[in-house]
Amino acid sequence: MIALFLYLFIIMNSIVSCVRSKPIFWSGGTSTELCIYPEKSCYEDLDFLFRISVATIDSEVSTFTPLNRICRKFMILNGEVKLIHEGHHQKMVKPFDFDSFRGEWETKSIGKGRVLNVMHPSNVDVHFNVVKSERGQEYDSKSKNDFEFAFVASGSTQIAEDMIKTEELIGFRNKGEINTFKLGVRTTVVFISIQVN
């Protein structure tokens, strides 16, 4: 993988590296990996504990790639997409709403958009929390899980001396600690909590 950008965020001697790879093409658009853990994991081998990516859905009707033994958490960043899981459920997903589903389900989408996608096996729990700031504010995030990430969907945010801009991801491991983010004007941040059971 060729890294275009590398972000290292350090708190309490804890480092999580987030590497933004070159986009890859799938049948309905493109996908860009932001983070995979463990770092030596490989998407093709499906041997990761979690994988965070952003993707575009460019085709009006798309069929998702089947991924056995993998769960998916799928959040729309912009656009509007209807997900149809054959034999299970369907859902219209609007900006900052999400759907959870199994990778082996036959899944189709109707509509176009940009998405935040977290893949993980069934022994890993993933939760989203969306924080929006119109005028700028401080936000305290208490880490209760093994991993915490912040994805800046729009605008920018600062933590310690680091400025994180649109579509950048930071990650940290400091369970029980409070991290203070300074959100900029018209900023939206998606906090991703990951617990390995």
**Any idea where the domains of the chain sit in the sequence?**
3-122, 125-196
- Please check whether the two domains, 3-122 and 125-196, share a CATH topology: yes
Can you tell me the mean pLDDT for 127-153? Answer: 91
**Fold category of 3-122 in CATH:** Jelly Rolls (2.60.120)
**Fold category of 125-196 in CATH:** Jelly Rolls (2.60.120)
Span 75-92, pLDDT tens digits:
999 999 999 999 999 999
Beta pairing, strands 29-37 & 50-57: antiparallel
Q: Which of 25-29, 34-38, 103-107, 144-148 has the highest mean pLDDT?
A: 103-107
Span 24-36, pLDDT tens digits:
877 788 899 999 9
Count H helices and E strands in the chain, helices first: 0, 18
* 111 contacts 93 by C-beta, under 8 angstroms: no
Can you tell me the mean pLDDT for 16-21? Answer: 63
pLDDT value at residue 18: 66
Collapsing DSSP to helix, strand or coil, 43 comes out as helix
